[in-house]
Amino acid sequence: MSDSNDKKKPVNYKDLIIDQNWNDYTNVQHETWKMLYERQIEILEPRICVEYLDGLKLLDISPDKIPDFNEVNERLRAATGWEVVATKGLIKSKAFFDMLRNKKFPSGTFIRAREELDYLEEPDIFHDVFGHIPLLTNPSYAAYMYEYGKGGERALEFKTTKHLARLNWWTIEFGLIARDGKAKIYGAGLASSFGEAKYCLDDPSAHHIHFDLERCMRTKVYISDYQASYFVIDSFDDLFNQAVNTDFSPMYKAFKGLEGYIPVEELLPFELYPGDQVLRKGTLDYIKPKRKELEESLSI
C-alpha cells in the first residue's frame, strides 16, 4: 500500500524490505489464515475473474498455511518475473513506485487477530498476498503494474501522486472486469473483503461505470466503507494499453491548473457524470444514509 503524502527525504526501497521470518508464525496464525481463506474462496469462486483463480493455483497459495514468500516467489518469478517482498508499515509513494518498477510487490507480514477477522487498520498479509499476488501471474496485469510503477516518476515530478493513487484505488484495489456481459472482481480490496466481495456485485447500491483512465484519476476516494462506484475494465490488455498509450503530461498539467490548460474539476465517487458509460446505475441505498459522513472522509 502506498501513502500519497511524500515528504522530502528519498528512501531507497531496498532498505524497506525485511525478512518474512516465516518460521515465526504460530499455529494460531496459520489457523487464522485458513479461516480467512476458506470463507473467502467460497464467495470468490463465482464472482472473481478466472485469471485470479488460475494464479492462486499456479502459486500454490492454499488454506493450509500462511504462504512462504520464498516458495511463492519461485513460481511467481517463473511466470512473470515478479516477486512479493516483506515490508514493514506503510510505504510512501516514491518507494512504492520504485518497488513496482523493479517488479517487487510489497506485503505486510502480520496477520489480523482471529477476533477481528473483518476489522483492519492497515493491510495485512491476507490482503496483500491473497488479494494482490495471484493476478501478478497474469502477463498483462503484471505489465500494467510495472507501467504504473514507471509512471510514478512523472507523477512525482508534477506532484500528482494523489491522482495516480486514485487510479491504483479504482483499478488494482477495487476494479471490476467485464466477462460475458457480467462484471467480475479483480481488485485486491474486493478479493480480500468478506463483505464487499458480495456487496460490489450482488447489492444493487453501487454504480458500475465503464473504466476511463482520466475519470478514475479525477474521482476522489474514501477508504472507510464500501464503495459507491466501481469501474469496469474490458480486459487486462485494455487496461495496460490505456496506461501505455495515454500521455499523462497534459492531464497532469490540467489537474494542476497550469497556464494554458483548462483546470478540471475533481469528481465525487457517489455521482454519475456526463460522458460516463454507465453499465449499472446504482440505487445508492447503502450509501445514502452515510453520504455526508463519507463526503467528509474523502481522503485521496
What is the contact surface with Fe ion in residues (CB under 5 A)?
Answer: 188
Q: In this complex, which beta carbon is closest to Fe ion, that of residue 187 or of residue 282?
A: 187
| CB-closest chain residue to Fe ion | 188
Residue that has been written with the C-alpha cell 487486462 in this structure: 236
CB of 242 to Fe ion, least distance (A): 21
- Please report how close the Cβ of residue 107 comes to Fe ion at its closest, in angstroms: 9
Q: How far is the CB of 169 from Fe ion (least distance, A)?
A: 9
CA atoms within 13 A on the CB side of 293: 9
Closer residue to Fe ion in complex, CB, 91/201: 91
The amino acid present at 229, given as its one-letter code, is: S
**Short-list 196, 198, 202, CA closest to 223:** 196
> Dihedral sign, CA of 238, 239, 244, 246?
positive
Specify the residue, 64 or 122, whose C-beta has the smaller distance to Fe ion: 122
3-state DSSP: the chain helix, strand, coil percent, rounded to 5? 50, 15, 40
Shortest spacing between CB 128 and Fe ion, in angstroms = 6
Distance CA 258, CA 172 (A): 29
Considering the complex, state which of residue 160 and residue 168 has its C-beta at the smaller distance from Fe ion.
Answer: 168
Cβ-Cβ contacts under 8 Å for 277 (sequence gap 6 or more): 209, 210, 212
* Min dist. Cβ of residue 144 to Fe ion (A): 15
Closest approach, Cβ 132 to Fe ion, in A, equals: 6
Q: Which lies closer to Fe ion via its Cβ, residue 37 or residue 252?
A: 37
Query: How do strand 182-185 and strand 91-92 relate by DSSP bridges?
Result: unpaired
Residue 188 or 206: the one with the smaller Cβ distance to Fe ion is 188
142 close to 128: Cβ distance less than 8 angstroms: no
